[in-house]
Each structure stands twice: as structure tokens, then as C-alpha cells.
Amino acid sequence: MILVEIFIVWRCIRAAQKARDVSGAMIAYGVAILLFFQGMANIAVNLKLIPVSGLPLPFISYGGSGLASLMLGVGLVESVVMRHKPLEF
């Protein structure tokens, strides 16, 4: 599951690099940072490295509003991907 989360974060960063405008890049970077820190905080809590914070593991742990906001964020990133700039050779 950690590899899937790393893949999603990598795709968000890649979408930010290919974004046509600055606002699209900031959306993609913001979602990537949110997913990364939320996942790492949850994993660190489960390994007893940091105190319990109450953050759910993205897309895995139960939580209605957290899951809805992550789905909204990924939808925004997919919108940025759909409108990316064409490749230049």
C-alpha cells in the first residue's frame, strides 16, 4: 500500500511539472504534499515514532470527510493533467 501512495504522490508531482499554468502546478504540488505528509504521519504513529495525531491513512482508513477531500484533490489534479501542455521535442 505504501508503494501505491508513493506512486500517487509521484503522479501528482509529474502533473505539476507538466501543468500549463502556475495555479495548476500549485494545486498538484499541494495535493502531493498533503498526501505525503498525511501518509507519513499515519505511518509514524503506527510505528510509535510520534504521538497520536488522528490523521487517517489516505484512501485506506475510514473517514467520510477525509476521503471526500482526498477524492476532490485527486480530481483537481486529474483536471490539471487533462489540460497539460503538449510535449515538445
C-alpha cell at 34: 498533503
Total number of domains in the chain: 1
What does each C-alpha distance from 49 to 3, 5, 39, 54 come to in angstroms?
A: 20, 20, 14, 14
pTM for the whole structure? 0.85
Within a domain: 87: no
In this prediction, residue 36 carries a pLDDT of: 94
Within a domain: 62: yes
Mean pLDDT across the chain: 87
Within a domain: 51: yes
Residue of 39, 22, 37 lying closest to 80 (CA atoms): 22
With beta carbons less than 8 A apart as the criterion, state whether 35 and 11 touch: no
Within a domain: 89: no
> How many Å apart are CA 58 and CA 35, to the nearest integer?
7
pLDDT in tens, 21-51: 899 999 999 999 999 998 899 889 889 998 9
In this prediction, residue 29 carries a pLDDT of: 97
Question: What residues make up the domain containing 49?
Answer: 2-82
Quick check: 3 pLDDT over 80? yes
Amino acid at 40: M
